Amino acid sequence: MTRLSLLLGLAALAAGTSARAAELPAEIKQAGALKLTVNSTYAPMEYRDPATSELVGLDIDLAGELAKRLGGLKITWSETPFAELIPSLQTKRADFIISGISDRASRRETADFVDYLVTGPQFFVLAESEAKAAIDLCGKKVGTTRSTSFPVEIEKWSKQNCEAAGKPAIQYVPGENSIDVRNQLKQGRIDAAVQGSETLPYAQALEAGKYRIVGEPFAKGYQGIMFRKDDTALREVVMEKLTAMIADGSYKAILDKWGLGANAVATPLMNAAPQ
Amino acid sequence: MKAAPTVAEGFPDLSGMRLAREPHWFRWLGAALIILVLAAIARAFAGGQIEWSYVGRFLTAKVILEGIVNTMVMAVLAMALGIVLGVVAAIMRLSPNPVLRSVAAGYTWLFRGTPLILQLLLWFNLALVFPTIGIPGLWTARAVDVMTPFLAALLGLGINQGAYTSEVMRAGMLSVDIGQYEAAQAIGMGRLRALWRIILPQAMRVVIPPIGNEFIGLVKATSLASVIQYPEVLHNAENIYYANSRVIELLIVAGFWYLLVVSILTPLQMLLERRFARGTMRLAR
């Protein structure tokens, strides 16, 4: 499945580059600026620096580099709750969305994804917890942000690994965002939590020694830049620039800066996440 | 004897003339414009990026119905708590004892002075301050087991509501004529008894409209409890659109239920008003 998607992605890429150099839509070129919307509660992907209140993060840096290569465009940032990201794209409040959003089949009904980062849901507990392996979490309370794809992932994992082995299912507890989920963990409201693997190094650095990762990310996925389905021109030109950034190492430099070099993709993929 | 002239000397008699109807051009123009704008809005909604089939399908979905029931349960309980606290605080506020007076004033100050969503988050995260709660020697429990989303929402909404209700109650009590207090005193009633038997029943008439107002506000304020995971109707609608991305459709579903509830509450308030206005029916009409 992934290989097929990879081929499709490469094919799309080839079509984009060989036929003609992709063109930036006239509207954007005229404005000289990209309108981008983020949900800035997801460090280190995008968040407001506590000291300066500037928007910072891996996505912000990537978008900045892309805008530079798209002809020195400025970026007009706006913010919105996570669940409003897709409506922001549909209503054209944003030209595209780069905001730590996972490529998922259900979201592909309304948008196309250019996948640029490997990710996966990751169990973690408080350092003093007794859980040693993910399987120890069967029957326990596990919290995660309810607006993400993680609740479904947890349920699926629990079915395959807990219930199939005759153990009690994981009890999912909803949280509002990653900060709220970690707060629930600290209070003992939940026994373990799930976050995207790309956000955990940052959380661990922030509160050293507080959390312990349990097992590996339990599903493989991608974060993608989200485009309107009919906006192929913009999608192709961004994909082209992203490919160039991977080739010349500037992409890797940005990932390394945020401690996520291991989550790099070899080439941008289109709609490639397995589910 | 001559009949008095109906028209003063020197003025024409206009009594036989027909009144011309004013054309009211601008009134008609305004009405037509408004109808046009409304029609355009309706058309935009009908043709916009809204999949009405989703609205229809989720309008009576089980989780949505459970959500509106939870919304109403929370609103009624929080209002009950709010009224109890409000009455107590209002009585304390009008007490001659300076300690009672200042405690009541401090309560109103604190809970009216901070946003409701902040109070809800504080109650929900109370275990960061008090990991365990209980009665020393008798019973202890982990704070998170006690402070469920339900209780955190009830305390947050109810205590905040009490602060507002106390001011409504105080206004009601102040609206009762001072002679009523004096008369109650003259026949030997104590202060609390006079309040309960004489003053509060008369104050009720005045406080029902603002309390009804507050209750309608509270029904909608329960939606804030979605951030502390209380499964009221907006929380459940959000959960659905987090999964299927039909945001506007589910917001319309939730909006429909809020409107329906408020539409039912309004005539109920009228009935309540009539009951408490029995003594002054002539004025009420």
Among candidate residues A177, A61, A49, the one with its CA nearest the CA of residue A116: A61
The yes-or-no verdict on residue B1 having pLDDT over 70 is: no
Q: Are strands A74-79 and A33-38 parallel, antiparallel or unpaired?
A: parallel
Are A151 and A192 in the same domain? yes
pLDDT-derived band at B285 (thresholds 50, 70, 90) equals: very low
Are A194 and A145 in the same domain? yes
| Closest residue, chain B, to A190 (C-alpha) | B144
Burial A96-109 (b: 16+ CB within 10 A, else e): bbbbbbbbbeebee
Which residue intervals of chain A are DSSP H helices? 2-19, 26-31, 58-69, 85-90, 150-161, 178-187, 200-206, 232-247, 250-257
Tell me if A149 is assigned to some domain: yes
Domain boundary among A214, A238, A258: A214
pLDDT tens, residue by residue, A39-65: 988 889 999 988 888 999 999 999 999
- Residue range(s) defining the domain that contains residue B149: 51-284
Cα A11 from chain centroid?
Answer: 24
What predicted TM-score, i.e. pTM, was given to this entire model?
0.78
- Check if the beta carbon of residue B111 is closer than 8 Å to that of residue B158: no
CB proximity list for A134: less than 8 A, separation 6 or greater? A123, A157, A161, A214, A215, A218
pLDDT tens, residue by residue, B168-201: 999 999 999 999 999 999 999 988 899 999 999 8
pLDDT tens, residue by residue, B3-48: 666 677 788 888 888 888 888 899 999 999 999 999 999 999 888 8
pLDDT tens, residue by residue, B219-264: 999 999 999 999 999 999 988 888 777 888 999 999 999 999 999 9
User: A114 is written with which tokens?
Assistant: 């250019």
Question: Does the CB of A158 have a partner CB in chain B at under 8 Å?
Answer: no
- Check if the beta carbon of residue B237 is closer than 8 Å to that of residue B251: yes
Question: Does the CB of A189 have a partner CB in chain B at under 8 Å?
Answer: yes
- Check if the beta carbon of residue B105 is closer than 8 Å to that of residue B92: no
Tell me if A226 is assigned to some domain: yes
| Closest residue, chain B, to A146 (C-alpha) | B239
Are A12 and A114 in the same domain? yes
Are A226 and A95 in the same domain? yes
The yes-or-no verdict on residue B284 having pLDDT over 50 is: no
Q: Look at residue A154 in the predicted model and tell me its pLDDT.
A: 96
Tell me if B188 is assigned to some domain: yes
Q: Please, which residues bridge with residue A116 across strands?
A: none
The yes-or-no verdict on residue B83 having pLDDT over 70 is: yes
- Check if the beta carbon of residue A92 is closer than 8 Å to that of residue A186: no
For chain A, what is the radius of gyration of the CA atoms?
19
CATH number at residue B219: 1.10.3720.10
- State whether A186 and B238 contact (CB < 8 Å): no
**Alpha-carbon distance B255 to B262, whole Å?**
11
Q: Which residues of B touch A90 (CB under 8 A)?
A: 49
Are A185 and A91 in the same domain? no
- Residue range(s) defining the domain that contains residue A155: 121-214
Higher pLDDT, A82 or B87: B87
Tell me if B83 is assigned to some domain: yes
Q: Look at residue A18 in the predicted model and tell me its pLDDT.
A: 45
CATH number at residue A193: 3.40.190.10
Q: Look at residue A1 in the predicted model and tell me its pLDDT.
A: 44
Picking from A107, A148, A175, the nearest residue to B245 by CB comes out as: A107
**Alpha-carbon distance A23 to A238, whole Å?**
10
Are A25 and A110 in the same domain? yes
Question: Does the CB of B128 have a partner CB in chain A at under 8 Å?
Answer: yes
Q: Look at residue A11 in the predicted model and tell me its pLDDT.
A: 53
Are A40 and A138 in the same domain? no
Q: Look at residue B145 in the predicted model and tell me its pLDDT.
A: 86
Tell me if B101 is assigned to some domain: yes
- φ/ψ (deg, to 5) at A167: -95, 160
Higher pLDDT, A87 or B215: B215
Q: Please, which residues bridge with residue A33 across strands?
A: A74
- State whether A176 and B127 contact (CB < 8 Å): no
Are A161 and A266 in the same domain? no
- Check if the beta carbon of residue A169 is closer than 8 Å to that of residue A138: yes
CA angle B185, B191, B193 (to 5 degrees): 95
CA angle A55, A57, A59 (to 5 degrees): 105
Quote the mean pLDDT of chain A.
89
Q: Look at residue B177 in the predicted model and tell me its pLDDT.
A: 92
Domain boundary among A171, A194, A214: A214
| Closest residue, chain B, to A111 (C-alpha) | B245
Q: Are strands A141-145 and A171-175 parallel, antiparallel or unpaired?
A: parallel
Q: Look at residue A19 in the predicted model and tell me its pLDDT.
A: 45
| Closest residue, chain B, to A108 (C-alpha) | B245
Interface test with B, best of A189, A191, A229 (most B CBs within 10 A): A189
Domain count, chain A: 2
Domain boundary among A186, A214, A242: A214
Q: Look at residue A203 in the predicted model and tell me its pLDDT.
A: 87
Q: Which residues of A touch B127 (CB under 8 A)?
A: 187-189
Are A47 and A92 in the same domain? yes
Tell me if B120 is assigned to some domain: yes
The yes-or-no verdict on residue A21 having pLDDT over 80 is: no
Are A109 and A8 in the same domain? yes
Interface test with A, best of B229, B250, B251 (most A CBs within 10 A): B229
Are A112 and A227 in the same domain? yes
Q: Please, which residues bridge with residue A223 across strands?
A: A102, A117
User: B47 is written with which tokens?
Assistant: 């043709």
Q: Omega into B201 within 30° of 0, i.e. cis?
A: no
Are A100 and A79 in the same domain? yes
Domain count, chain B: 1
The full length of chain B comes to 285
Mean pLDDT for A167-186 is 93
Q: Which residues of A touch B228 (CB under 8 A)?
A: 176
Tell me if B2 is assigned to some domain: no
- State whether B241 and A83 contact (CB < 8 Å): yes
Complex ipTM above 0.90?
no
Picking from A90, A106, A175, the nearest residue to B243 by CB comes out as: A106
The yes-or-no verdict on residue A5 having pLDDT over 70 is: no
Higher pLDDT, A197 or A21: A197
- State whether A175 and B229 contact (CB < 8 Å): yes
Tell me if A275 is assigned to some domain: no
DSSP 8-state class, residue A153: H
User: B149 is written with which tokens?
Assistant: 């989303």
pLDDT tens, residue by residue, B100-149: 999 999 999 999 999 999 999 999 998 888 888 888 888 888 888 888 99
- State whether A176 and B128 contact (CB < 8 Å): no
Q: Are strands A211-214 and A121-126 parallel, antiparallel or unpaired?
A: antiparallel
Reduce the secondary structure of chain B to three states and give it as a string.
CCCCCCCCCCCCCCCCCCCCCCCCHHHHHHHHHHHHHHHHHHHHHHHCCCCHHHHHHHHCCHHHHHHHHHHHHHHHHHHHHHHHHHHHHHHHHCCCCHHHHHHHHHHHHHHHHCCHHHHHHHHHCHHHCCCEEEECCCEEEEHHHHCCHHHHHHHHHHHHHHHHHHHHHHHHHHHCCHHHHHHHHHCCCCHHHHHHHHHHHHHHHHHHHHHHHHHHHHHHHHHHHHHHCCCCHHHHHHHHHHHHCCHHHHHHHHHHHHHHHHHHHHHHHHHHHHHHCHHHHHHHC
Q: Look at residue A17 in the predicted model and tell me its pLDDT.
A: 47
Q: Please, which residues bridge with residue A173 across strands?
A: A143
- State whether A146 and B241 contact (CB < 8 Å): no
Residue recorded with tokens 């809970």? B111
Mean pLDDT for B86-113 is 95
| Closest residue, chain B, to A110 (C-alpha) | B245
User: B52 is written with which tokens?
Assistant: 């009405």
Q: Look at residue B5 in the predicted model and tell me its pLDDT.
A: 61
